[in-house]
Amino acid sequence: MDYLNYGELKKVNSISLNHIFTTPLWHIKRDLPQSAIEWSLDVQKNSEPMINGSSRGGYQTKPFKGGDQIPKHILDHLIDCLDNFPSVQIVNWWLNIQTKGNYNRCHTHPGTDLVLLWFLTDNHGTTILRHPLAHVREKLSVLAPETVDLSSTDINHDGCAGVSINASAGDLVLFPSDIVHEVRELEVDATRVSVSFNLKLTGME
């Protein structure tokens, strides 16, 4: 009986490493529509606050269904920004207003397809998307660094790898709703205003 010579086998066989299952992130740069900030302050003035949201400090409205309470010119602007996307439906949305010392704890948006963050002011680099594989594949990142690429991440205060999103007023950021994300504590004397949307992809059956 011939025994398999693993040394020879190693010479003739090859190993290929492929990278699969990437996470999409869209960052759309657009100017802020006229009166958007004034609209957000009016929403704050006339809306009930969210009680059990992710915000710690600051202000969040209760979610509005669909496009309720969004002026036509602002809704048209958002639709135009998403013109290259498949058909999407706004499930709900809410307003976030924070000042120095406020933050949002880690969370996801279950039951939807995409999260849309619309920044009405600069976010000062405080929006963090956590790497979905950094925890469960920490050792694999040493064996095959490209598999769990941490080169583009920064490390937040509790040591978990994540990507920092630096957004300016008017920017829109979209990502899958199962990605864990957070907003770091605002450390500067400024007001951070954004609108969060839950989006559902439609017409793709």
pLDDT in tens, 69-107: 999 999 999 999 998 887 899 999 999 999 999 988 889
- Give the span between the Cα atoms of 132 and 12, in whole angstroms: 36
Domain count, the chain: 1
pLDDT band at 119 (very low <50, low <70, confident <90, very high): very high
Q: Is residue 152 part of a domain?
A: no
Q: Report the CATH number at residue 55.
A: 2.60.120.620
Q: Is residue 193 part of a domain?
A: yes
Half-sphere exposure of 137 (CA within 13 A, CB side): 14
Give residue for tokens 């006339």. Answer: 46
- Give the span between the Cα atoms of 148 and 155, in whole angstroms: 14
Q: Is residue 44 part of a domain?
A: yes
Q: Give buried/exposed letters for 134-168 (b at 16+ CB in 10 A, else e).
A: beeeeeebeeeeeebbbeebeebeeebbbbebebe
Which residues does residue 28 pair with via DSSP β-bridges, in sequence order? Answer: 172
pTM for the whole thing? 0.82
